[in-house]
Amino acid sequence: MTEVPIARRTLGVSFGPDKTATVQVWGPTATTVQLVLNTTGETLPLEPATNGCWHTTTRQLRPGDLYQIALDGRRLPDPASLAQPQGVHGPSQAFDPTVFSWTDQAWQNPDLDDYLFYELHTGTFSPEGTFAGVAARLDHLVDLGVNAIELMPVAQFPGDRNWGYDGVCPFAVQHSYGGAQGLQLLVDACHARGLAVVLDVVYNHMGPEGNYFSSYGPYFTNRHRTPWGDAINFDGPDSEGVRQYVIENVLMWFRDFHIDALRLDAVHAIRDESESHILRDIRLHVDQLMAQTGRQHYLVIESDQNETRFIKPLSEGGYGMDAQWNDEFHHALRVTAGGEQHGYYADYDGIKHLAKSYCDAYVYDGTYMPRRAKIVGTPTTDLPGRQFVVFSQNHDQIGNRMLGERPSQLVSEAMQRLMAGAVLTSSYLPMLFMGEEWSEQHPFLYFVSHSDPALIDAVRQGRQREFAAFQTAVPAPDPQAEATFQQSKLQWSLLGEMHHQTMFRYYKALIALRKTSVLRFPNRKNVLVTFHDDTQTLVLQRWHEHRRIACLMNFSRAVQPICLPVSDTPWQKRFDSADPIWGGPAAGPAQMPGDVEVLVQPESFLLYLNHADDL
């Protein structure tokens, strides 16, 4: 296992109690390494240390000072810089994250079972497009009822507009968002309001512009290929330096920024054939950190392989990740709701696969997937519901569409309410995407702000090629245009309009139901699902101890009779998405015996309980 210090960073610039700066750079191929003090122009030599590192201490570099690293005379940003105020090509800025005055000493990260995620993009969530803009709207999220905000990547990227997956300075916090201190202020404010903070991080590739890693050392290897080119070098010669770099980054977010959980992007593209996989080493180091600090942190992954080894505990030979995004639930739900069945949706058979996902999490769990023409996945037997995050929309599933349409632009308000109900009644951890709760009408488009003309042209052409098969006269929006970014911003003014306000109240009520009923227990074992393909109806039953719910879902456009399960006691209605108070056509019956049919309105659901404790 790669051994990395737990209590402090060793890479980049760090400051001791007496403000002496310690500078350490991994540069195994360099012959000379110098620290350049941009204020004075002075250069200070770094001395060779162990494992390809170069090291010095100095009192001439202070927090706030600009500096560069000169490798064999070539001046570059520090790859472990915490601040890049002049962008990815400019000098780095010294920053001491340990001096922040935290007020969250009493904060306790919620149990993972209780997480209700809310994914947001800092630049488009508010008019300001900053951490402060997010902080100013935390009361809205508290009122909504979620308890964990998930920030799309905030590591420094080229320009001021980007999803964040083109980051090239993993330790630096995007300057236009408010920088490192701005992020600390946001996390502290979230904790004061009872909100956990999840940060999206990218360890499967680096962005193209401002990528100076290869100048420092073998950060990449051609032994493996990824959709972005050569893989990050986790298992080749000199890979220990790369592994240390990533592990230190993980520990920094938890230790120095008080982040509660990380969402690791596309871990299926992390290629590592080492005896101890990098994810396993991350798990071991995070466990050590938690033992030292007493704080709880979670590791959530994105993977499209349906391989349970990622989320199985170390004791069972897994990598020990706490949870993963379950895209297959989304795909099955989207097709069931009337979405298209081309591209990766072609593998999903609507309501049949939605029923399977309710029970088994994965749709393909050791079965043949036509699009990949092979057996995909492994069964999720005995893995708890808290290990799967489900959603009806997220940044990928919206933004990777040519026009970035949200479900609010594709389906009726009734179907939006039903899709929300399908997510929040599941035995998994639910996640919303920003603006979903009021039926935001703006799209969420793909946008960048590169400075390299050739790269800009390549991105534009790539988007056009990606959607060339679509029979439409509408061109793909220009990712580089500021208008594309502005069009993706949330319209908070919509909350002042009646039907958007009604949708917000609907989400509030549904989330409150999730938190105060059987639904709050993500127990996959206590789930029973039946469905009828011909009527596009599904019955989800869940129970905890003596309490039981039955959720009757009608995905068709006609009223459908659905039979309530057999019950010794009457079923009491607890929630009705077709109730006129939500803008629906008619309310369902308030109380019904078991084993009788209930007429369920089109594109709606009825939720019944059969124990008075839940009423």
- Please indicate if the annotation marks 328 as binding a ligand: yes
Q: Is residue 611 part of an annotated ligand binding site? A: no
Collapsed DSSP state (helix, strand, coil) of residue 113: helix
323-325 and 298-301: which strand pairing? Answer: parallel
DSSP string for residues in 210-228: T--HHHHS--EEEEEEETT
> What distance lies between CA 226 and its chain's CA centroid?
20
Instruction: Answer for the pair 242, 204: CB distance below 8 angstroms, yes or no.
Output: no
In angstroms, the CA 130 to CA 183 distance is 9
| CA–CA separation, 569 and 571 (whole Å) | 7
Beta bridge partners of 599: 561
Judge whether 302 counts as a catalytic residue.
Answer: yes
Is 514 assigned a ligand-binding role in the annotation?
A: no
User: Measuring CA to CA, how many Å separate 534 from each of 250, 351, 552, 554, 579?
Assistant: 49, 10, 15, 11, 25
Question: Which tokens hold the place of 496?
Answer: 């002042």
Distance, in Å, from the CA atom of 332 to the CA atom of 326, rounded to the nearest integer, reads 11
Q: What is the C-alpha to C-alpha distance for residues 378 and 308, in angstroms, rounded to an integer?
A: 6
480 belongs to an annotated ligand binding site: no
User: Quick check: 332 and 353 in contact, CB under 8 A?
Assistant: yes
Tell whether residue 546 is among the known ligand binding residues: no
- Decide: 532 and 558 in contact? Cβ < 8 Å: no
User: Is 265 among the annotated ligand-binding positions?
Assistant: yes
- Which of 96, 240, 265, 478 is labelled catalytic? 265
Tokens of 412: 């009726």
Torsion angle of the four alpha carbons 144, 150, 155, 161, in this order, in degrees rounded to the nearest 10: -50
Is 224 marked as binding a ligand? no
To the question of whether residue 398 is assigned a binding role by annotation, the answer is yes
CB atoms within 10 A of CB 456: 17
DSSP SS3 for 278: helix
In DSSP notation, 3-51 reads ---SSS--SEEEE-TT--EEEEEE-TT-S-EEEEETTT--EEEPEE-ST
Q: Confirm or deny that 399 is annotated as ligand binding.
A: yes
- Could you confirm whether 613 is annotated as catalytic? no
Which DSSP helix (H) or strand (E) runs through 545?
none
Can you tell me the distance from the alpha carbon of 140 to that of 146, in angstroms, rounded to the nearest whole number? Answer: 10
Of 78, 119, 281, 302, catalytic: 302
Q: Percent helix, strand, coil in the chain (nearest 5)?
A: 30, 20, 45
Decide: 236 and 218 in contact? Cβ < 8 Å. yes
**CA of residue 74 relative to chain centroid, distance:** 37
Residue 264 is labelled as binding a ligand: yes
191 annotated as ligand-binding: no
Measured over the CA atoms of residue 477, residue 478, residue 480 and residue 483, the dihedral's sign is: negative
Instruction: Give the C-alpha separation, 440 to 438, whole Å.
Output: 6
544 a known binding residue? Answer: no
Q: Which residues contact 5 (CB under 8 A, 6 or more apart)?
A: 248
Tokens 């790269």, located at residue: 455
List, in sequence order, every beta strand (DSSP E) within 394-437. Answer: 429-433
Are 216 and 75 in contact by the 8 Å Cβ rule? The answer is no
Q: Torsions phi, psi of 599, nearest 5?
A: -80, 120
The answer to the question of whether 327 is labelled as a binding residue is yes
Give CA angle at 199 (192, 363), nearest 5°. Answer: 120
- 396 is an annotated ligand-binding site residue: yes
Q: Spell out the residues 6+ positions from residue 285 whose beta carbon is closer than 8 angstroms to its own.
A: 4, 6, 247, 250, 251
Any known ligand binding at 410? no
CB atoms within 10 A of CB 274: 16
Check whether 331 is labelled as a binding-site residue. yes
Residues that constitute the known binding site for substrate? 263-268, 327-331, 395-400
Residues that constitute the known binding site? 263-268, 327-331, 395-400
Catalytic residues: 265, 302
